[in-house]
Structure 1
């Protein structure tokens, strides 16, 4: 199962993912780490599309091998979310503006979410993990 944890920079994507991954025994790909490995810090439209396809490739590999995989990245547009093609979407909707104005301007709220997180807390990851595992 491919799980996307998306939201503006600073919304708590990595915070949630760090706690969720062990509960699901999942592989984890963090956007900053993937960009670092690729040495690709291009945040143009093309760079963002390329990153969504890169994240998809890693996630598809893990899914093909029967693993849960959680990818946390901004995934700011409908196109980047369609490229990634998540089985399950967790939207960290905890802030209205991130620290990067260009990302704030192009960010589109998702049409489809499975978990809509509107506040940080110490139990979101438990609730989400239990629901995911219950439905498998």
Structure 2
């Protein structure tokens, strides 16, 4: 099973995705961690982003070839970033998409705090948000707060059954 958890910076997607991966016994692939492994100095250029998604795709292919579940965690905010993953999985069972959202005031507060892997701030949130291409296919949308992770995980688990 392949699950793509996506959303804007500060939405709570990584906090959720890492816990979901543990719950469903899946490999966890986080774009921020991949970026830090690939690039000593990060510029967030288009080429750098493409390299990160290419590495995530390759890692996903390996996991699928070895019959392992995988949770991918990134903004996936454009069709261009989603399409290679969808194409790869079309004949292999498809992908479950889970979008994590949060209200903007909560996102602003979250992005003020240092996080171990992500350097995205509110300015980056706004830039990515302005480029966002909503997923039109049916998918689960979860609203993140600071105290509903259990409820989110249960809804995701039920959705994935």
**What runs of 5+ residues in structure 1 fail to find an aligned partner?**
none
Secondary structure of the equivalent of 1:116? strand
Stretches of structure 2 lacking an aligned partner (at least 5 in a row): 87-93, 109-121
More helix by share: 2
Structure 1's consecutive aligned runs of 4 or more residues displaced over 3 angstroms after TM superposition are: 95-98
State which drifts further: 102-111 or 35-44. Answer: 35-44
Equivalent residues of 1:48, 1:80 under 8 A apart? no
CA contact (8 A) 1:90 1:113 kept: no
The answer for the alignment partner of 1:80 in structure 2 is 81
Aligned counterpart, 2:155: 127
Q: Given that residues 53 and 84 in structure 1 are in contact (C-alpha distance below 8 angstroms), is that contact kept between their aligned partners in structure 2?
A: no
**Higher radius of gyration, 1 or 2:** 2
In the alignment, the residues of structure 2 paired with residue 108 and residue 95 of structure 1 have an alpha-carbon distance, to the nearest angstrom, of: 18
TM-score relative to the length of structure 2: 0.73
Name the stretch that deviates more: 3-12 or 79-88: 79-88
Deviating more after overlay: 123-132 vs 38-47:
38-47
SS at match of 2:49: helix
Judging changes above 3 Å, is the alpha-carbon distance between structure 1 residues 116 and 2 closer, same or farther for their aligned structure 2 residues? Answer: same
Deviation track 1:44-82 (CA, whole Å, cap 9, x = no partner) reads: 333323322221111111111111100111112111011
- Residues 114, 25 of structure 1: alpha-carbon distance in 2 compared, 3 angstrom cutoff: same
Tell me the C-alpha RMSD between the 2 structures.
Answer: 2.0
* 1:90 equivalent in alignment to 2:98: yes
Q: Specify which of 105, 115, 124 is matched with residue 140 of structure 2.
A: 115
